[in-house]
Amino acid sequence: MDKEISKLNFIINNSKNIVFLGGAGVSTESGIPDFRGKDGLYNQKYDYSPEYMLSIDCFLNDPELFYKFYFDKMIYDDVKPNIIHYKLADLEKRGILSSVITQNIDGLHQMAGSKNVLELHGNVYSFHCMKCNKKYNLQNINRSDIPKCSCGGILKPDIVLYGEMMDENVSRKAIYEVSKADTLIVGGTSLLVNTASSLLNYFNGDNLVIINLDKTPFDFRANIVIHEKLGNVLKKIK
Ligand code: NAD
Ligand code: ZN
């Protein structure tokens, strides 16, 4: 692995336009479980699949179940960025990383100081009313019940649920960023969600790097593949 890491170190320090594409594995080291990893939510027992409980179908037909799962499992108070988030923010400050594209909805990249963050699936901090479109913040909604607007309408979190389309603007920007990158580092994602993995098709640069604990279906395409904790890898990058 040390050989791979020194190769990665060389690539990072000789790139001008790195893009990082990440997923839930970026935040497990902050204590937020992923979906498909060993301790992920898919390996815990629920009456319904997490995919259903985070779907637009469930939101519209059984908002009580939706919000129970959402408030229990998708919102983590008092979480802090970890070394991965800070290292990426630092590479951006050094002018060699142009953007972080994330499937995460936890806002930790911005908290660590990253500026150019594209959230493919939105984030958990904002909501809007299904009836009148009024905006709400996570802090001012009642989590003990289905959150409602002052007009009586149900609030919907501003995240992309299963069965919904991604925001076109975000999607277009992500494609643009990937297509002009010289190095694409993909980390902490199983690459099983199509919105993220399809971005790999737009990469024309020299170095595709995949860092993930488990194997991914795209490992064969990468110049460097490291199956290790992202934090352990990034802390060795100088
Ligand atoms: P996933 O759960 O499908 O895959 C996560 C991958 O990260 C796994 O393959 C696992 O082996 C790897 N991993 C876990 N910890 C790691 C670490 N420390 N270092 C390196 N690899 C590690 O996640 P996904 O591909 O992002 O797709 C899940 C979907 O669920 C996304 O759409 C995302 O919106 C959502 N989600 C978000 C959060 C969050 O915001 N933190 C958490 C869970 C799920
Ligand atoms: Zn309203």
Q: Detail the DSSP E strand segments found in 163-227.
A: 183-187, 207-211, 224-226
Mutate to test the pocket of ligand 1, among 21, 34, 214 (most ligand atoms within 8 A of CB): 34
From the CA of 136, which ligand is nearest? 2
Catalytic residues: 121
153-186: pLDDT as tens digits: 999 999 999 999 999 999 999 999 999 999 999 9
CA-nearest residue for atom 40, ligand 1, is 104
Q: Tokens 């905006």 map to which residue?
A: 135
Q: What is the pTM of this model?
A: 0.94
If you measure from the C-alpha of residue 132 to the centroid of ligand 1, how many angstroms do you get, rounded to a whole number? 34
Over residues 138-153, mean pLDDT: 93
Write the pLDDT tens digit of every residue in 60-118: 999 999 999 999 989 988 899 999 999 999 999 999 999 999 999 999 999 999 999 99
Per-residue pLDDT of 26-61, as tens digits, reads: 999 999 999 888 778 887 878 899 899 999 999 999
The β-bridge relationship of strands 155-159 and 122-129 is antiparallel
Report d(CA 227, CA 208) in Å as an integer.
14
Considering every ligand atom shown, identify the ligand nearest to the alpha carbon of residue 35 and give its number: 1
What average pLDDT does range 215-228 have in this prediction? 97
How close is the Cα of 132 to the center of ligand 2, in Å? 4
Give the highest mean pLDDT range of 50-54, 71-75, 193-197, 210-214.
Answer: 210-214
Taking alpha carbons only, the member of 179, 177, 174 closest to residue 195 is: 174
Q: What pLDDT score was predicted for residue 7? A: 96
Task: Give me the phi and psi of 176, to 5 degrees please.
Answer: -60, -50
Beta carbon of 123 within 6 Å of any ligand 1 atom: no
The pLDDT of residue 200 is above 80 = yes
SS (H, E, C) 4-21: HHHHHHHHHHCCCCEEEE
> Is 1's pLDDT higher than 80?
no
Ligand 1 pocket: which of 27, 35, 226 to mutate (most atoms <8 Å of CB)? 35
User: Using a 6 Å cutoff on CB, does residue 212 contact ligand 1?
Assistant: yes
pLDDT score recorded for residue 167: 95
Kindly report the protein residue whose alpha carbon is nearest to atom 37 of ligand 1. Answer: 104
Tell me if 189 CB under 6 Å of ligand 1. yes
How far does the chain reach from its first CA to its final CA, in angstroms?
16
